[in-house]
Amino acid sequence: MKQLLLVFLGGGVGSVLRFLISKTLNSSFQPYFLGTFLVNILGSLLIGFIIGLTLKGNYLTENQALLLATGFCGGFTTFSTFALENQSLLKNGDLLHFTFYTLLSISIGIFAVIGGLWISKSI
């Protein structure tokens, strides 16, 4: 039960922060979904860092990793919004922005996870 509560709390905080960032940045930088892009990249970097610290053994407990990685990062990042935004770009026939948004989000997201793992090794 404690683990469920930790995931719930972390997810709630992550979701609210994602909402605030996306609401602010997505409306300012149309047709780019800058808010969603940034939260997904930052979340990827953060989850790599958190998992890296967890794997080191002495930095985060299992419960802290659940709160931060599963809860916060799970609520903060959003694949469903990313997919919906891409569908909107396709519906509007905006293949150029669709292609760049998709390729950059996926490739930079993967590199951000690797970067987070690398940063955690230097601690």
Annotated binding-site residues read 74, 77
Helices (H) and strands (E) in the chain, counts: 6, 0
* Contact of 114 with 48, CB cutoff 8 Å: yes
Cα separation values, 69 from 8, 28, 65, 74, 75, Å: 12, 29, 5, 7, 9
Annotated binding residues for Na(+), written as ranges, equal 74, 77
* Contact of 89 with 31, CB cutoff 8 Å: yes
SS3 72: helix
From CA 98, how far away is CA 86, in angstroms rounded?
6
